[in-house]
Structures are given as structure tokens and as C-alpha cells.
Amino acid sequence: MLVADTASKGTPHLRRSIGTTQLALYALGSMVGSGIYGLIGKAAGEAGSAVWLSFLVALVAALLTSLSYASLGSRYPRAGGAAYVTDRAFGLPILSFTIGLALVASGLTSVATQSKIFAAIVADLAGWEASSPAIIAMGFLLILSGIVFRGIRESMWVNVVCTLMEVSGLLLVIASGLSYWGTVDYFEIPPARADVGLAVVVLQASVLAFFAFIGFEDAVNVAEECRDPEHTIPRGLIIATLAAAVLYVAVSITAVSVVPWQELAAAPSPLTAVIQKSAPNIPAELMTLIALFSVANTALVNYVTASRLIYGMSGQGLLPKFIGRVHATRQTPHIAIAMLLGLLLLLVVAGQIADLAAATVLLLLAIFIAVNASLVVLKRRPGETHGRFEIPIVMPIAGIVVCSGLLVTRLASSDWRAPAIAAAILCAILALYAALRLTNASVR
């Protein structure tokens, strides 16, 4: 069984306590938390009642990269995740450093965004004044960092509770609207787009639906805390991705059956609108409460992921060694957790981060391309270790093609700000790389 590069005999290392079920819930919670609750309305606006088909197409796209992560995780169960496998495949520290910190930046912006949403929901429920959310967000981050520092077991149990709440909300939507199934034309698309045809509309909407699946990549970064990671990682990833797909398709069919897709697209909270019509006796506050758990879970998963990425990069020599220290009692990367907390508090105080979040989505697609390419290189390399879960080489190649198409589509449809910010993030990462090289602090 592999252990952290930073760990040696007598040195504290991460605790192995995660099983297949916990890892599947970890990945599922990350996907569902930032996915279907926010995207179903927008996707319906693009695909009409055929939105369920878009989620099926998006599943194929997501599954290709998810399977690549599963295969790589079974080969190299390391906390560095994408940074480790790209380093192993290409041997370019600058590439691995950039990918690792781009993932950290994605995690940071996600946690900061979710903390603000959490604070706004709490303030609204409590009827507090407008100045309260910033204070609530900072308090939320302090509690979150305490949970992550406390231990992976505690973080996983909080994740399990939150994920079950999220999934219960989706099951409630499905159960309440099941009687409406079969009442609409599930191949109806917006009349304004009838000239391009069903297939094109579904494919275009699947680009948006794909982002409901983002989150599966987080599972690989807790590999060094999994029991029997060579089996646990592929099983957990596949279970989570398929479970998310079943939920997404069922929810999308239910949503357009209960609420016309035109109204669904315009609703500020689409799933709340579905519940209000299909089960008016259920208080609207229940969905708000579930949303609170969803937001908290997304923040928790991204915090854990970012801290393990930094820990793993330190073990690879991509960041200073002291950052990868593990607390002797709690067996968590306490230095990395503390550094992230400081950055998160600054982000929350800084204000508007929506454009930053949009930019990191572009970086994620570029990282998915690099991960698929790494698997292709490693599978073709003679003598390279095989994992317990192998896939045909055509699958990561297809993953490269699909993710490249999604990236080009995203760049073409986005305004200039997200690509510009993504470029600025990359420049900042490269500047840090150069500084660390000059000071001989890291990056080998």
C-alpha cells in the first residue's frame, strides 16, 4: 500500500479510513452540490423538454474522463492527483506545478463562493441585515477549517450527512412529481431553435449539463486516506458518476413534466418551483434548508481536496517541504489547511468572485485534457505499472477530444472576462514557479 512521499518511518502521515461507500458519497456530494440544483433551469432553457437527453449525452462525456481518473487512481493512489500523474507522464515540473495550483485555485474559488451563498441563505432565513453575510461567511470558514483539521473521519461523516440530505432533496422532487410523468412531449425543443434540429440542440445543451458532473475529480486527491485505494477509487468514482446520472435524468424528466420548460428556465429556484406545484403542502423552507446542506458540502469537499493537493505537491517537491507536514495527533496536513484558511478569508473580504469562479471552470477543462493525455502516455510506456482497473486506450483519447470540444465551445460562448482571468491565474502561477525556482525553495 502506497503512502505519502512526505511520510517516512516514524513521521506522521495521513490516516487511511475511507471505504468505497464513503468515497462514492464524497464524489457524489461534490457533483450534486454544485450541479443539478443550479443548472436544471438553464439547461431547460437551452434544450426545452429534451433536457433529459442533454444529461445523458453529458454523462458519456463525463464518464470518459471519470474512467481515466479511476484508472490512474488505481495505478497511482497519491494525494497529488492530477499533479502527480502529469509529472509521472511528462516529467515537466512546470506543467505539474501549474496543473496542481490551478486545481487549488479552482477549489479556493469554489469554497469562497459557497461560503458567501451559505451566508446569504442563513441571513435571509434569520432576517438579519445586509452587512451580516460577510461575518457569517468568515464564521462558516472557521468552522469548516476546524472540521477539516479535526480529521478525515470527521470530514467524511459530515460529508455523508450533507450528501444524504442533498440526495433526499432530489428524491423528494422525483417522488412528488412522479405522477406527472408522461404528460408532456419529452422531445420538444425551443421553437426559436427548431431550425437546427433536436440533435444539435441537445448536444449544445449537453455542454452546460456537463458541468453538473464536475466534482468526480476530487475523489482521487484523498487516495492516501483510502483503504485499499487501488480498488476503492475506481469503484467509488464509477458508482458516484452513474448515481449522479440516474438522479439528473430522473430529476430533469420530473421537472419538465411538472413545470413547463419555459417557466422552469425563468424560475430563480427551479426545483423549489417544482415542489411548490407538485407538493404544495411541503414548506418551501425545506428546499432552502436542503440547499444549505448542499452548499456546505460543496465547500467542505473542495476544502479537503485543496489541502490534499497542496500536501501532495509538497511531497513531490513542487512546493516547500514544510507545507506538507502532517499533524502528529490529528493526522491532517495542518500547515496546508491553515494557509488555505488565510487565503479564503482574503477572498471573502475581497468581494466579487463570480468571474474568478467562471475562469477556473475553463482551467478544469484544460486539466481534464492533460489527465487524459497522461493516461495515454503512461499506457504506451513500456514497463509502466498497471493498475487494478484498466481501460482501453481509445477511451482517454476520446476524453481528450470531448474535453477539447467543450473547452472550445466554452471559450466561444463566454465573454472576454473569464478567459482573461484564467490567463491571469496561469501567469500568476508561472510567476510563483519562477520565484520558487530562483529561491531554491521547491520544484526540484
Instruction: Evaluate whether residue 218 is within a structural domain.
Output: yes
pLDDT tier at 354, thresholds 50, 70, 90 = low
End-to-end CA distance of the chain: 25
- CB proximity list for 52: less than 8 A, separation 6 or greater: 186, 249, 252, 253, 256
Residue 346 is assigned to a structural domain of this protein? yes
| CATH of residue 374 | 1.20.1740.10
Is 26 within the bounds of a domain? yes
What digits encode the pLDDT tens for the residues 279-325?
999 887 788 888 888 889 989 999 999 999 999 999 888 889 899 89
Q: Which residue has the higher pLDDT, 213 or 396?
A: 396
Residue 10, domain member (yes or no): no
**237 in a domain, yes or no?**
yes
**pTM across the whole model:** 0.87
Residue 367 scores a pLDDT above 70: yes
pLDDT at 398 over 60: yes
Average confidence (pLDDT) over 147-172: 93
Least confident of 99-103, 167-171, 189-193, 325-329: 189-193
- Please report the pLDDT score of residue 286 as a whole number: 85
Tell me how crowded residue 404 is: count the other CB atoms within 10 A of its CB. 15
Is residue 385 included in any domain, yes or no? yes
Residue 245, CA distances (Å) to 133, 268, 328 in order: 34, 23, 40
What residue numbers bound the domain in which 354 lies? 20-438
The count of structural domains within the chain is 1
Q: Quote the pLDDT of residue 4.
A: 40
Indicate whether 383 pLDDT > 90.
no
Name the grid cell of 412: 466561444
444 lies in some domain: no
**Statement: residue 257 has pLDDT above 90:** yes
Give the mean pLDDT of 110-135.
79
A 10 A CB-CB count for 431 gives 10
Residue 329 inside a domain? The answer is yes
| pLDDT confidence bin for 377, thresholds 50/70/90 | very high
Q: In the 3-class helix/strand/coil scheme, how is the chain assigned residue by residue?
A: CCCCCCCCCCCCCCCCCECHHHHHHHHHHHHHHCCHHHHHHHHHHHHHHHHHHHHHHHHHHHHHHHHHHHHHHHHCCCCCCHHHHHHHHHCCHHHHHHHHHHHHHHHHHHHHHHHHHHHHHHHHHHCCCCCHHHHHHHHHHHHHHHHHHHCHHHHHHHHHHHHHHHHHHHHHHHHHHHHHCCCCCCCCCCHHHCCCCHHHHHHHHHHHHHCCCCCHHHHHHHHHHECCHHHHHHHHHHHHHHHHHHHHHHHHHHHHHHCCHHHHHHCCCHHHHHHHHHCCCCCHHHHHHHHHHHHHHHHHHHHHHHHHHHHHHHHCCCCCHHHHCCCCCCCCCHHHHHHHHHHHHHHHHHCCCHHHHHHHHHHHHHHHHHHHHHHHHHHHCCCCCCCCCCCCCHHHHHHHHHHHHHHHHHHHHCCCHHHHHHHHHHHHHHHHHHHHHHCCCCCC
Please give the pLDDT value at position 7: 43
